[in-house]
Chains A and B, each alone.
Chain A
Amino acid sequence: MHELSIVMSIVDIAQQQAAHANAAIIDEIEIDIGCLSTVQIEAFDFAWDQAVKETILEGTVKKINRIKGKARCLDCETSFPLENLYDACPNCGQHLIDIVEGKELRVRSLIVS
């Protein structure tokens, strides 16, 4: 939910960063969206096309890094890929896990000119 507002926040961040860097054009924007984050990618893409119109990001190439979920079992120390928050460790079957990757929702970088 809130994919539109997330895109709007990205536009704000991009505007601020471009202003800091004295850049008028953002050629490319790199964004991390973890597979375990609250973002639904289809809704995000749809919202993007609408929300960037007449902003600094209209025409910017967006590069989305889908970060796969990764967890570490606190019991047997196995690292394993995580698809759902309630998944168990494939090695020992316990749910005592720590999420290491997959919840990111972050603007990584811009390429400006």
Chain B
Amino acid sequence: MCATCGCDADGNVTMHEPGHHHDNNDHHSHDHHKKVVAVEKDVLNENNLLAERNRGYFEAKNILALNLVSSPGSGKTSLLERTLTDLKGELEFAVIEGDQQTTNDADRIHATGTKVVQINTGKGCHLDAHMVMHAVQGMKPKQNGVLFIENVGNLVCPAMFDLGEKERVVIISVTEGDDKPLKYPDMFYSSTLCIINKTDLLPYVPFDIEKVKVNAKKVNHKLEIIELSCTNGEGLQIWYDWLKSKVLAPEPA
């Protein structure tokens, strides 16, 4: 069982690369002296320490690490496919995919020609810093690049687990409810950017885009919001500009 989160993850976590076939007491009885031990330790300490270690690694290699979170089906993988295709050659990309089972998402990313590793969590419901650390050790992402970490589709648990990312991007689609941020506040509170995807479907759904933005800002007033559609390309340029603005120019040698 995973020591950090208790799910069956650790025993069954596997990693795959597409294209490769082959993972006190003091026993003096008179002394009953009681002592107060100050601890002051965060319970998720172990994950947080590993997350900071990841963060240090990313900063040292000038890698922009992004943690993409959402419900299953909001369009995380499609957004990545589109981004990796459109910005090919402009930035150095690597991807870590997280799902319970299959390499389907990693295969899709691999088809864009981007370096990718698939983490299968088995019964696990989120990625944690420990898994990301191992994936990064294996793939050795390039300096000055962008690392996308596509988390397991889940709007609840990933909120608790720092992976060492620079930005956390929460994605919702217009086919979901516009009260989503209020129903899942922890995720929206812990994110830095919110992407509203599938805007091409707005004419067909009762989704109120202004309402979702107000709701998101109620939970997290610092949240940046971008509206886009992976299918018709609307708004993608804003996302690309945002991405490029976050990539630091490499230090001169």
The 8 Å CB contact of B35, one of A9, A38, A88, A113, is A113
Interface size class of B (residues with CB under 8 A): 35 or more
Say whether B186 contacts A5, CB under 8 Å: no
B60 within 8 A of A: no
B239 within 8 A of A: no
A52 within 8 A of B: no
Say whether A2 contacts B218, CB under 8 Å: no
B26 within 8 A of A: yes
Q: Give a binary string over A65-96; 1 marks a CB under 8 Å from any B CB, 0 the rest.
A: 00000000010000000001110100000011
B33 within 8 A of A: yes
Q: Give a binary string over B203-224; 1 marks a CB under 8 Å from any A CB, 0 the rest.
A: 0000000000001011111000
Chain A residues positioned under 8 Å from B25 (CB to CB) = 22-25, 112-113
Say whether A86 contacts B182, CB under 8 Å: yes
Q: A2, A17, A106, A107 — which one has the most chain B CB atoms within 10 A of its CB?
A: A2
Quote the shortest CB–CB distance from A95 to chain B (angstroms).
Answer: 5
Say whether B34 contacts A113, CB under 8 Å: yes
B156 within 8 A of A: yes
Stretch at the interface among B39-47, B73-81, B85-93, B244-252: B39-47
Stretch at the interface among B1-9, B14-22, B94-102, B114-122: B1-9
The residue of chain A having its C-beta at the shortest distance from the C-beta of B5 within the complex is: A5
Quote the shortest CB–CB distance from B151 to chain A (angstroms).
Answer: 15
Quote the shortest CB–CB distance from B33 to chain A (angstroms).
Answer: 7
The 8 Å CB contact of A13, one of B7, B45, B215, is B45
Say whether A109 contacts B37, CB under 8 Å: yes
Expressed in whole angstroms, the Cα–Cα distance for A85 and B38 within the complex equals: 30
A64 within 8 A of B: no
Which residues of chain A from 32 to 81 have any CB-CB distance to chain B below 8 Å in the complex? Answer: 38, 74
Which residues of chain A from 97 to 113 have any CB-CB distance to chain B below 8 Å in the complex? Answer: 97, 105-113
Say whether A5 contacts B35, CB under 8 Å: no
Chain A residues positioned under 8 Å from B30 (CB to CB) = none
Interface CB pairs A-B, < 8 A, 18: A1-B125, A1-B156, A2-B7, A5-B7, A6-B6, A8-B1, A8-B6, A12-B46, A17-B37, A22-B24, A38-B160, A85-B186, A95-B217, A95-B221, A106-B41, A106-B43, A109-B36, A112-B37
Query: A13-B43, A113-B24 provided; 12 other pairs, C-beta below 8 A?
Result: A2-B7, A5-B5, A9-B4, A12-B3, A13-B41, A23-B24, A27-B34, A85-B186, A88-B218, A95-B217, A106-B40, A113-B25
Q: Which 4 A-B pairs have the closest CB atoms?
A: A5-B6, A24-B25, A24-B24, A85-B185
